[in-house]
Structure 1
């Protein structure tokens, strides 16, 4: 028993000491427990293949397909308004509702670019409320945050009934309303930091507005062209006139050349705008096979334009984007004079690799894997399939695990997801953390530590009341989630909470909820929750900003959460 307890304590110490590597800490814990025979092989297998854990993994993988649709981006364009209050309310409401059903990391990631590029408000005035709203929204449903699914899997493992989809909703609504109101009152104290200007020496991407495009007659802002992820509209070429910088009120006209700067891997976003073609499209090549090259000093292309050089015919390739470190490239790609050392991203044809002139003209760096975006029937399949699965689970017609297995299979078969991106985005670290924590709870039970909690309670003169035990469990979980991560806090404190509830003959559901809501109460530290870390860097915040705004939110959250748990579930 002492050795298992020592491993438990050392795991917490390791998580605090190595905050950026929780998977390694939990992995060592798993190896120690199994090698020391403190758990059985059957318990190890059951922990790794736990249904609740697999449900979480499937939910995250299926949400990858949703990220490839235009749904979140379209909604994002409707949020930013000239009025700060209107923008804040729209942002908070959208983020809370979205995070209740979607991966809140994906929601925050989608909103980062629109907020940073908006012309009306400082990004630092909106990014922290964005993260807090995502955290609060995640408390509303079973699938709202990974911690709820972790707690559900731990509850099933402990012999409790599985948590229903809306078991969290009443308590979650209380904390959303109370903390949302508090956050709104604290808005004047949010910092107002300048956002760094985009580096125009990134890749430049040339696009053309075709006849009949829905972009024509609408402003840049109305079309959502300032709300793209990692792409920034730097100039418009119109009738040999160059417009730069581009005002958000500038109205798009037919045949305008829109020049974007940014990450070429995000170029597939532009496919969502009908009637907007890329230079590669004009040359009849798709964008799903990109290659990055550098122009050699002895290249035949030097001081020639792409059009004059007959680039498409000579190399069976078309230039998607160009970057020149010495000076910025401006205007249409086809009219740019190629220089030695230019970085080009090429959409290549089937014959590209067989051409003998490639190595004479280019140094091939690597393939560029673009973020593939979905459109047409595949986009509808993903959106309807995802929300249909969630709806069927919510009303109890199809278990969430079964629905996600079927949806995942359909997404793979239809090409909405492919095996390479699934392998690349598989949340292996989360898998290791949760399965190791499940195994640790088995070890604590096997060693008799859970029974020992009952003996500790007898040392109190009148016994520890369920109310104080609930408060202690919540505070311990809250402190741990601020020190380490929300998932680790939930996994480590659950067996302690369940053991206390059993020894006090209290309602275990109240203690389960105390762990779930305590693990989601990360408002003070930028490192305790992933969305906090995302906005911490994007908004140029300091730790004092999180403390100043997050401490009052945490206090309100704690009081409301504990009160609502007692009112809804009882002790």
Structure 2
């Protein structure tokens, strides 16, 4: 081995071991590996440009950015409204299938994030019985299509960089569907044996929001569940105030009536979700308010408002502001906001007029914390455009009318032009970490090829690959990737193992596609560790699981999924010579 080869081996091996120790800093580690490779002149300037502007990588970034518009619609919330059933099996089945189907076409992290709230709010089934299957469903669903998971898109980007035409939209579907069906039975079996973990008491130190059901609302006569009021993201319906009667706790079958006051508890930034319901308005007393300019304040100990209700204090005219949300530590609050007497230290969210900050009495009565930026949701024509545009782009690319890249470029431009996406959305959600990982990994693979490391590793294989023994090598490749996935996360594992999966079979004149599929599926099969996949970590915290809960459930699921995938690859993508 020459000096350049030794340096590249040290960079590659060092990257793996550093990822194992500092798993959550994968972007930084790949970035350092890229810089080291570039500074040692093991890749060219042109290869650097190609690595970070790879079409497959741009598809991944465009898809994740355009998915933000879908998250801003009520589509996923509508899906979550259909999951509650009369029995554990029916609820589990609805949750599992809806999550899997959603994850096949949408960002599975977003799907799981939206599903967590209604699962935790389910009053009949412990969340611990459903949250882990929720993550597993998202993982399985993501393996069904090219866009289902970032792992598939990462592998596709590296494949196109190697000069291959890349995967088609449904290249993963046969293998993924075969494994999905078989593994689902095992997941249900382990789900029934998950521990019943008593949910901690909901944190009611979040804000209370009041809304009113108007007389023309289409929700009137529907149950709370059918109306979708139990399935909001980060907002929880805590009580209904009806003709001086307070209903709490609320039965899922409670019917919504005209003029009901709905009291929500949760993240005030999600207040715009309430506007998506027909005939439901944020109210202060009997007046509707706009939520564009919001400010968070704390009531001072010497405020003139103490022990007065908002009406008694003539709050709106005094401050040119309306209170839409209320928080008081250590006290249970109920009823209309206008009837609650103000205490020192109360937190209020105000919708303010243009001269609020200039009024002399503001500093005397409040400590102003900050402006509160609402997370705007899409409604009406914009919602229809976002959902219709996304589905059309995916459909046209799936049937081969246009390339996925062209469809997403046009969709992105349309969403930006119509205001469905804004620069703030892009700034907040641009997947810079994934872009850095994939671009650096492609550059790293160029370095391994340029210095002859890949050829040297191939020559070290003691048994020459033939059609008779190639499948055993495929199994070994799958298992190594599977272990790496649990140790260094799915995206990093796929990026590290792709060069071997592509170059070694090609060296022996064998079609590399089965080996690449093995890496893609193995990198997506993180069932044992809560840290190997983003959705696992989300439900791990939300469900208050222990590490051994994941291990006990994940081992049989992982074995079943792996065996199913390997058999399906053997069946549908047999190893052949080029």
TM-score category (smaller protein): over 0.9
Matched, 1:48 2:52: yes
2:198 to 194, 200, 220: 194
| Residues 294, 181 of structure 1: alpha-carbon distance in 2 compared, 3 angstrom cutoff | same
CA contact (8 A) 2:221 2:255 kept: yes
Displacement of 1:284 in angstroms is: 5.2
Mapped partners of 2:449, 2:73: distance in 1? 45
Deviations 1:493-536 (A, max 9, x none): 00011121122321111111111111111111111111111111
Matched, 1:302 2:324: no
Mapped partners of 1:379, 1:194: distance in 2? 37
Matched, 1:526 2:530: yes
Paired residue secondary structure (2:209): strand
Q: Which moved more, 1:516-525 or 1:327-336?
A: 327-336
Matched, 1:567 2:571: yes
Deviations 1:316-349 (A, max 9, x none): 2211101112423321111222222211111122
CA contact (8 A) 1:466 1:504 kept: no
Deviations 1:356-411 (A, max 9, x none): 33222221101111111111001000100111110011011121111111111211
CA contact (8 A) 2:240 2:246 kept: yes
**Partner of residue 278, structure 2:** 274
Displacement of 1:224 in angstroms is: 2.0
Matched, 1:7 2:16: no
2:463 to 454, 460, 463: 460
2:267 to 263, 269, 273: 263
1:77 to 72, 77, 81: 81
CA contact (8 A) 2:211 2:283 kept: yes
**Partner of residue 387, structure 1:** 391
Mapped partners of 1:450, 1:201: distance in 2? 57
**Partner of residue 245, structure 1:** 249
Displacement of 1:260 in angstroms is: 1.2
Structure 1 portions without partners, runs of 5+ = none
CA contact (8 A) 1:469 1:500 kept: no
Matched, 1:160 2:164: yes
**Partner of residue 316, structure 1:** 320
| Residues 566, 298 of structure 1: alpha-carbon distance in 2 compared, 3 angstrom cutoff | same
**Partner of residue 510, structure 1:** 514
Displacement of 1:542 in angstroms is: 1.4
CA contact (8 A) 2:219 2:256 kept: yes
Q: Which moved more, 1:283-292 or 1:142-151?
A: 283-292
CA contact (8 A) 2:506 2:512 kept: yes
Mapped partners of 1:283, 1:188: distance in 2? 48
CA contact (8 A) 1:285 1:317 kept: no
CA contact (8 A) 2:283 2:289 kept: no
Q: Which moved more, 1:147-156 or 1:417-426?
A: 417-426
2:153 to 134, 149, 163: 149
CA contact (8 A) 1:288 1:372 kept: no
Scaled by the length of structure 2, what TM-score is found?
Answer: 0.95
Matched, 1:449 2:460: no
**Partner of residue 337, structure 1:** 341
**Partner of residue 415, structure 1:** 419
Structure 2 portions without partners, runs of 5+ = none
Matched, 1:499 2:509: no
CA contact (8 A) 1:302 1:338 kept: yes
Q: How does 1:56-205 map to 2 (within 5 A)?
A: 56-205=60-209
Mapped partners of 1:281, 1:372: distance in 2? 24
Mapped partners of 2:133, 2:288: distance in 1? 45
Deviations 1:235-291 (A, max 9, x none): 222222222222222222222211111111111111121222212595454212211
Mapped partners of 1:248, 1:140: distance in 2? 34
CA contact (8 A) 1:293 1:364 kept: yes
Q: Which moved more, 1:35-44 or 1:127-136?
A: 35-44
**Partner of residue 355, structure 1:** 359
Q: Which moved more, 1:73-82 or 1:180-189?
A: 180-189
Matched, 1:399 2:403: yes
Displacement of 1:138 in angstroms is: 0.8
CA contact (8 A) 2:47 2:443 kept: yes
CA contact (8 A) 2:416 2:422 kept: yes
Paired residue secondary structure (2:201): coil
Q: Which moved more, 1:28-37 or 1:481-490?
A: 28-37
Displacement of 1:185 in angstroms is: 2.7
Mapped partners of 2:286, 2:516: distance in 1? 59
Structure 1 runs (4+) greater than 6 angstroms displaced:
461-464
CA contact (8 A) 2:18 2:29 kept: yes
Matched, 1:438 2:435: no
Paired residue secondary structure (2:230): coil
1:490 to 473, 487, 494: 494
**Partner of residue 223, structure 1:** 227
**Partner of residue 475, structure 1:** 479
2:545 to 541, 563, 568: 541
Displacement of 1:353 in angstroms is: 2.8
Paired residue secondary structure (1:205): strand
Q: Which moved more, 1:272-281 or 1:43-52?
A: 272-281
CA contact (8 A) 1:165 1:394 kept: yes
